[in-house]
C-alpha cells in the first residue's frame, strides 16, 4: 500500500447482488478483496457496505438466515463497515402485463405485493459526501450501476474536483454514472470467482460463519 493513493469504497449491496451475483456460485463474496483486486492502483482503507435485511418469504424461508451468516462473515474484516436500511412491503394495485383495458377503456389492474428497499441509496450518498468533504481519503469509489447515484458523484466532481470513480457490477456502466465519474471499472466473473471468502470464517465472538450449502 506504500506510495499508493488511499481510497474509500461505497458498495450498493443490493445492486451488486442483482447485477453480478444472483444466480451465480459466487454469493460468498469477499467484498474487501474484490475492491482491492478491481482497484489495484489504490490502497483500500475502508469499504462501506450498504444493504437491508432480507425478510423471510414463503418461497424461501432461509433467505434471512443465509444473509445474516454472510454479513457476520463480512464483518470480520477490519476494513469493512455494514450500514443497514430496510425493506418495506406494500400491497398496491398495478396494471397487468401485457397492457390491457376493460370494457370502459380503463387499465386492468391486479393487487400485488411490492417490496422496496429504503434508506440504502440515501445512506450511501450521505456517507460518500460527508467523507469526501472531510478529506477521509485521496479518492472515492461507488460500487453500483444505479444511475440515481450520479448526482452526488457529479456534485463532488464539479464543486470539489475530487477523484470519484464508479465500479460497475455490470459490464456496461450506466450513461449517467459514466459521465459523472472521473473513471469507471467493471467487475468481471473471474474477479468474483477469485474473491471468495473461506468456506468457514472464524468470528471474534468465538462462533463460526459457514458458507451455506444452498442459496
Per-domain residue ranges of the chain: 6-86+117-210
Pairing of strands 139-143, 43-52: unpaired
Contacts of 108 (CB under 8 A, 6+ apart): 95, 96, 100, 101, 102
Q: What is the pTM of this model?
A: 0.84
Residue count (the chain): 215
Residues of the chain with pLDDT under 70: 1-2, 55-62, 64, 86-92, 113-119
Residue 60: predicted pLDDT: 56
Distances (CA, A) of 177 to 11, 145, 186: 14, 7, 12
Residue 163: predicted pLDDT: 97
Residue 107: predicted pLDDT: 86
State the Cα–Cα distance between residues 61 and 52, nearest whole angstrom: 17
**Three cell numbers at 9?**
469504497
Residue 168: predicted pLDDT: 98
Pairing of strands 163-168, 6-12: unpaired
Residue 14: predicted pLDDT: 93
Residue 103: predicted pLDDT: 81
Residue 215: predicted pLDDT: 77
Which option is the CATH number for 6-86+117-210: 1.10.150.20, 1.10.1580.10, 3.40.50.720, 3.40.50.1010?
A: 3.40.50.1010
Residue 109, classed as helix, strand or coil, is strand
Amino acid at each position: 500500500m506504500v506510495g499508493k493513493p488511499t481510497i474509500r469504497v461505497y458498495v450498493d449491496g443490493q445492486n451488486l447482488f442483482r447485477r453480478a451475483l444472483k444466480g451465480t456460485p459466487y454469493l460468498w463474496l469477499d467484498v474487501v478483496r474484490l475492491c482491492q483486486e478491481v482497484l489495484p492502483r489504490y490502497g483500500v482503507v475502508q469499504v462501506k457496505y450498504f444493504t437491508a435485511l432480507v425478510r423471510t418469504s414463503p418461497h424461501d424461508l432461509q433467505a434471512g438466515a443465509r444473509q445474516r451468516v454472510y454479513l457476520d462473515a463480512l464483518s470480520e474484516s477490519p476494513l469493512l463497515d455494514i450500514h443497514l436500511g430496510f425493506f418495506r412491503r406494500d400491497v398496491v394495485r398495478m396494471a397487468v402485463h401485457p397492457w390491457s383495458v376493460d370494457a370502459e377503456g380503463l387499465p386492468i389492474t391486479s393487487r400485488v405485493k411490492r417490496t422496496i428497499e429504503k434508506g440504502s441509496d440515501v445512506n450511501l450518498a450521505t456517507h460518500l459526501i460527508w467523507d469526501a468533504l472531510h478529506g477521509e481519503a485521496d479518492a472515492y469509489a461507488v460500487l453500483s450501476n444505479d444511475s440515481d447515484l450520479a448526482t452526488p458523484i457529479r456534485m463532488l466532481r464539479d464543486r470539489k474536483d475530487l477523484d470519484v470513480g464508479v465500479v460497475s457490477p455490470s459490464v456496461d456502466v450506466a450513461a449517467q454514472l459514466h459521465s459523472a465519474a472521473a473513471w469507471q471499472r467493471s467487475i468481471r466473473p473471474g474477479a468474483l470467482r477469485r474473491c471468495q471468502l473461506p468456506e468457514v470464517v472464524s468470528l471474534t465472538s468465538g462462533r463460526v460463519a459457514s458458507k451455506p450449502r444452498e442459496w
